[in-house]
Amino acid sequence: MNIAIFGANGRTGSLLTGRALAAGHTVSALVREPKNFSYAARTRVVEGSVFDPAAIAATLRDTDAVFSALGAHSPVKKEDVLERAMPLITAAMEQYGPSRLIALGSAGALPTSLDKQPAWRRWIVQKIVYNVFLKYPVASQVDQYRVLSHSNLDWTMVMPPMLTDGPARGKLRIDPDALPRNGSRISRSDVADFMMLQLTNPQWIKRGVYITW
């Protein structure tokens, strides 16, 4: 397949890029600073910002599926990366294709995200973590879900809790309805593996899916 990756130089995006190349796919990568992108020689690099519709169109050209692993630099600043990028990406895909979009989101994107947590944990995570410390990233994910779910695309929003570095464990809990009980973290490696599997899995098309250790 030819795969477009937005956020290809990020921590999860570079894992996705490496996995896609290792699986024999070709990759079209939108990056802001190609000189810092370790896969530059092995990918079709589009240099630019995801806020530029022309750069998005160039990244999507001749691709069969799209990964987004976009995100803001700081969880405590209002950067509006997803708020600005996802309407542009979904509009471009609706216009030129492709139709398959696998986007990295986050638990917290829906009001039902914490329904399977013990009451004490639900209160702490919602009132203190989501409403205070992570209010901007959570607002971005709420908006990303809204944009994807109003699109005509074959989208999947992968919704993990806190991301860690380090190896994949390969043993995930997967739930389409809410974050599994006491789920609190998962590695970016496991997230990238799960997103890769979605290239050929229709099960979670047009919905969000929670994954956690």
Ligand X SMILES: NC(=O)c1ccc[n+]([C@@H]2O[C@H](COP(=O)([O-])OP(=O)(O)OC[C@H]3O[C@@H](n4cnc5c(N)ncnc54)[C@H](OP(=O)(O)O)[C@@H]3O)[C@@H](O)[C@H]2O)c1
Under DSSP, the state recorded for 127 is I
Tell me whether residue 24 or residue 35 sits nearer to ligand X (CB atom): 35
Binding region for ligand X (CB under 6 A) out of 122-130, 159-167, 173-181, 203-211: 159-167
Q: Which structure tokens are listed for 101?
A: 């979009």
Q: Find the binding residues for ligand X in span 61-90 (CB under 6 A).
A: 69-71, 81
Residues 139-158 that bind ligand X (CB under 6 A): none
Token representation of residue 85 = 């990028």
Quick check: 21 and 76 in contact, CB under 8 A? Answer: no
Q: How far is the CB of 78 from ligand X (least distance, A)?
A: 13
Q: Which residue is nearest to ligand X (CB)?
A: 10
Do residues 66 and 4 make contact, with C-beta atoms less than 8 angstroms apart?
yes
SS3 labels along 43-69: CEEEECCCCCHHHHHHHHCCCCEEEEC
Report, in Å, the least distance between residue 50 CB and ligand X: 4
Kindly determine how many residues on this chain lie close enough to bind ligand X according to the rule CB under 6 A: 23
Q: For the chain, what is the radius of gyration of the CA atoms?
A: 16
Longest dimension (CA), the chain: 50
CB of 213 to ligand X, least distance (A): 13
**Residue 168 touches ligand X, criterion: CB under 6 A:** no
- The set of residues, in sequence order, having a beta carbon less than 8 Å from that of 44 and lying 6+ positions away, is 26, 27, 28, 29
7 in contact with ligand X (CB under 6 A):
yes
Should residue 9 be labelled a site residue for ligand X when binding is judged by CB under 6 A? yes
Q: Which is nearer to ligand X, 7 or 98 (CB)?
A: 7
**H or E segment to which residue 149 belongs:** helix 135-149
Q: Which is nearer to ligand X, 81 or 153 (CB)?
A: 81
Binding region for ligand X (CB under 6 A): 7, 9-13, 30, 32-33, 49-51, 69-71, 81, 104, 106, 137, 160, 162-163, 188
